[in-house]
Chains A and B, each alone.
Chain A
Amino acid sequence: MMPWVMRGLRDGIVTSRYPRRPDGYGLTFRAAVSIRRDDTTVVGTGRAVDAVAAACPTRAITSEVRQARVDRGKCILCGRCVAQRPEDFAFDPDTETAALRRDLLVVPGRNEDPAGLAELREELARRVRAFRRSIHVRHLDCGSDGTEEWEIAALTNPIYDIQRLGVFFTASPRHADLLLVTGAGAAGMLGPLRETYEAMPAPKVVVAVGSDAASGGLFAGTYATRGGIGDEIAVDVFIPGSPPSPFSIMHGILLAIGLLPIDTRAR
């Protein structure tokens, strides 16, 4: 026993202080793709952006009059647009990528609807109030590629140590407050997904983890998937990424349960 005790002390405290302090690593990650400037077409680059949009493997880029947009819920972070048009597209290193509504994953936003969003936020806040500072999380795989599971499991490593925030993984849906759903919405998992959701006691919150869960990603449109899980159950928070980094997943969970410091919660 003794050698392990000493081993456990070897590296001191390695745990991130996020969300109380910004985390250096969390701020340098290729977390999402952003449009570098507004008015992409004004400077005569419209056709070039159209070509980039056509080359996007998940059709995540739309090029409208005067404005290109990226749907991060479809984006799988392959970086093709960034490589082809670095003047218009860039990797955004900010891992705080989660959003409260599917349409808010489209950047720059089309119709933010601040009143509707405030209402949404308020309703969610009311629902999660009962959780106080102890939240039990259940994960369910609905057709992931396996990477989201790794990144969720990483939250229990000493660097993220999500238990320090009062977030615990639980074995039974009946003990769960929050459901983390991964995967493109495999048809075979839709029944178990609904049953799991039903088995959870109210109040409950659902977080869709990854671009596959938001849109199906590259697997949207096969005979066996349903283009994400948003049509099956009510999703409260979407986390884009293929897969999202552990910091993004942590951001999504904290956004859902209202434990983010005020300044980061605004998005």
Chain B
Amino acid sequence: MTDNETVVEVDLELFATEVAYALGISRRLAGLFAVPAGDALRLVAALAGEGQLSVLTATLPPGVAAYPAVTTLVPAADWYERQIHDLYGVTAVGHPDLDPLVLPLAPGIAKPCPGSGTETRALTPSTEPLPALVHGEGMFTIPYGPVRSGVFEAIEYVIETPGEDIPRVQTRVHYKHRGVEAAFAGRSTEDGVLVAERVEGVASVAHAIAYCEALEHIAGTDVPVAAQFVRVLHAELERIANHLDSTIRHVEAAGQAVAYARLTLHKERAMRLRARLCGSRFGRGVVVPGGVSGPPPIGDGELLEALDMLERDVRADIKLLMSTPSFLDRLRRTGILPLKFAAARGALGPLGRGSGLTEDVRTSRPYGGYRHLGFSPASREDGDALSRQLVRNEEILTSFHLVRQTVDELESLGDPATGWSVRVEPASGEGIGWAEAPQGEVLYFVQLDDGIPLQVKPRSASFHNLAMFTAAFPKDITTDFAFIEASFGLSIAGVAG
């Protein structure tokens, strides 16, 4: 892999222990991937440390379909091992709950094994209900989803409750599983970016960046600095739109009609601004391997003017919102995720930073244009929905600032002599690319053979963070549900895969 990644191959039996030991040094488990290698299967654990990502890997030889669970020592591995079990049929021995997560299949049906070349056979998920886990007098289960009230992505929350408290929420994310890893199979790197943009569409730019960063790591490509800034520009506008969207969901749940109208108007303005810069309201088509498709039309000062007006209005309306007691009352002390838990699980993005964590991969492991831009990540300590809102508020303003800085840089740099994208030389090897999406750190594990992608494994922040959802209901009641969900600010497309 590359300079800031170290790869250590360990014995399969010792894999879990080694991961747990490494976490004494690294900060958190960032991802766990299963990578087909012929008839064998490799487990690849990505560990995020100070300024670097290290990788531990172990191999399941052909015919071996079990290994000691990492989850027993590192709870953050929970959903990863369930996902691997669903997709590859490999059992993490000792895992407390290997219920299907992304793909429930009837017993005896062969797993899809994306990346192994057998992933095109159509599979039908089983519809067996999951067992209720909390028992007691008066307990009942409210299944909420996958057909939900309102315009939401498909997911089912199984709320187990005696009436008002929520002792446990199970999340069933498999309904909209699309087999995204299989959608990368057989595609060139240019087409792969288009798939990456659609793994979690609301974070198209961040996904495209993380995917291309992985390719560029492997090939040792030097992306033109100006192109890196264009990526930053679109990524920050994406963050503004997403953070406004989470705020809108809070406001909608609180029934603040005027605030809803104001903030949806601002979000629409942000989306139109993005479309004006690249033709797509989601920044699609901007990021390409080796750079960007072209410069944004910023020459006439119109962009900065639109940006200033949008920032002024967003700032004013959020300020008013933050002094509206009927709004704050719904967020304060709602959905508390304690720092200890968030740290142990490595909560990402605004979720982690709302619980007192300070990591933001834009500054902890800076990539692309962020190497040249400085800011301090927002962080709040209370761990409630309000803290997450405050983190997002601050990040919106930081994003406006970064966009403006980026425009300045682009104006002083001018058009790059190499063109807006450089050729990514066909290389072989594997690497991990990352980006800070609005939801948190996105990872892409990519394996190339002479420039042809053999394996592409996206890991969205939404996947990592939704695993913590059930922990955020210590004292909350059913009417808090909408706020807690909105404050997580996740996209189910990125979770279900």
Interface residues of A (CB under 8 A from B): 3-5, 7-8, 11, 14, 25, 29-30, 57, 76-79, 83, 91, 139-154, 156-159, 169, 171-173, 183-184, 186-189, 191-192, 195-196, 217-219, 221-226, 242-243, 245
Contacts and interface: CB of A to CB of B under 8 A. Distances in A.
A30 B276 CA distance: 10
Interface string B329-355: 000000000000000000000000000
A196 B147 contact: yes
A67 to B, nearest CB: 25
Contacts of A144: 153, 176, 201, 493
B282 A149 contact: no
B112 A224 contact: yes
Contact of A25 (B123, B125, B272): B272
Contacts of B282: 147, 243
Contacts of A171: 149-150
Contacts of B194: 57, 76, 78, 218
Given A91-B279, A157-B267, A186-B175, A146 B285 contact: no
Given A7-B316, A159-B265, A191-B127, 20 more contacts: A4-B324, A8-B262, A25-B272, A30-B275, A57-B187, A57-B191, A78-B284, A79-B279, A139-B150, A141-B146, A146-B153, A146-B200, A154-B271, A159-B268, A186-B178, A188-B175, A192-B147, A219-B198, A222-B179, A223-B114
Contacts of B198: 76, 145, 217-219, 242
Interface in B369-411: none
Top 9 nearest A-B pairs (CB, nearest first) are A171-B149, A145-B201, A157-B264, A222-B179, A147-B201, A224-B179, A222-B182, A141-B154, A8-B258
Contacts of B268: 154, 157, 159
Interface in B93-132: 103, 112, 114, 119-125, 127
Nearest to A196: B147
A189 B175 contact: yes
Interface string B166-197: 00000000111111101100010001001100
Nearest to A9: B258
Nearest to B248: A153
Nearest to B323: A3
A225 B201 contact: no
A18 to B, nearest CB: 14
Contacts of B177: 143, 186-188, 224
